[in-house]
């Protein structure tokens, strides 16, 4: 009888609100583990939208009208592993919980000024960071050692620091996990930065 289960489809601990003409996140059952609210008209994410949802592992808000999110909208979710936000209107990213494994914020309007300094440094579980088709002008560094896939294609990245991927002071470093780097569609000439890739198992694509 909860409001969200009248508006949406609740199956076990999953809540499906796809294409339900929603303008905001509905009240969710406290046991919610997975939320799918794609193809709606949600414009903003408030910190109160997810309060107390300690078991929430995945949030998928693909293809909404989200232009901003409170800085603490997701940070206090202790179990959140996947945050899926492509095809929205975000210009900045809120803080993320340290449990996050996958962040997909493709096809937004995020500029480098919309990322906190060293935003991803302490996310020791992060494996997939997909920020293609945004307005970034540099690669967000430092990147955690856990990262496996970095997609930054179709931004405005023009240059790269030698320490972006590798520690320039430690030439014995091997960064085994990071095998998938996409930089195509950026105005950067990767051949100008040969010393930036020595620790990688594969060269960036671009």
Alpha-carbon distance of 192 to 55, in angstroms, equals: 46
The answer, yes or no, to whether residue 3 has pLDDT greater than 90, is no
In the predicted structure, residue 201 carries a pLDDT above the cut 60:
yes
Q: Does residue 1 have a pLDDT over 90?
A: no
CB 70 within 8 A of CB 94: yes
Please give the span between the terminal C-alpha atoms of the chain, in angstroms, as a whole number: 52
Which pLDDT does position 4 carry in this prediction? 82
So where are the chain's domains?
Answer: 1-109
Per-residue pLDDT band at 2 (split at 50, 70, 90): low
pLDDT, tens digit, 9 for 90 and up, residues 152-199: 999 999 999 999 999 999 999 999 999 999 999 999 999 999 999 999
CA–CA separation, 41 and 102 (whole Å): 23
pTM score: 0.96
pLDDT per residue as tens digits for the range 68-119: 999 999 999 999 999 999 999 999 999 999 999 999 999 999 999 999 999 9
Q: Which CATH architecture has domain 1-109?
A: Alpha-Beta Horseshoe (3.80)
Helix, strand, coil percentages (3-state) for the chain, rounded to 5, are 10, 15, 75
């Amino acid at each position: 009888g909860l409001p969200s289960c009248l508006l949406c489809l609740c199956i076990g601990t999953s809540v499906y609100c796809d294409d339900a003409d929603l303008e905001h996140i509905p009240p969710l059952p406290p046991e919610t583990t997975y939320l799918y609210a794609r193809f709606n008209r949600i414009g903003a994410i408030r910190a109160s939208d997810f309060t107390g949802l300690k078991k929430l592992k995945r949030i998928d808000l693909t293809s909404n009208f989200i232009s901003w999110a409170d800085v603490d909208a997701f940070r206090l979710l202790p179990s959140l592993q996947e945050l899926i936000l492509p095809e929205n209107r975000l210009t900045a990213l809120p803080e993320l919980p340290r449990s996050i494994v996958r962040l997909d914020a493709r096809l937004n309007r995020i500029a480098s000024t919309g990322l906190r300094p060293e935003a991803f440094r302490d996310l020791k579980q992060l494996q997939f960071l997909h920020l293609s088709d945004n307005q970034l002008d540099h690669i967000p560094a430092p990147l955690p050692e856990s990262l496996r896939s970095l997609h930054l294609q179709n931004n405005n990245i023009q240059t790269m620091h030698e320490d972006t991927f590798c520690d320039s002071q430690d030439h014995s470093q091997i960064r085994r996990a990071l095998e998938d780097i996409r930089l195509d569609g950026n105005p950067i000439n990767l051949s100008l930065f040969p010393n930036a890739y020595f620790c990688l198992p594969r060269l960036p694509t671009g």
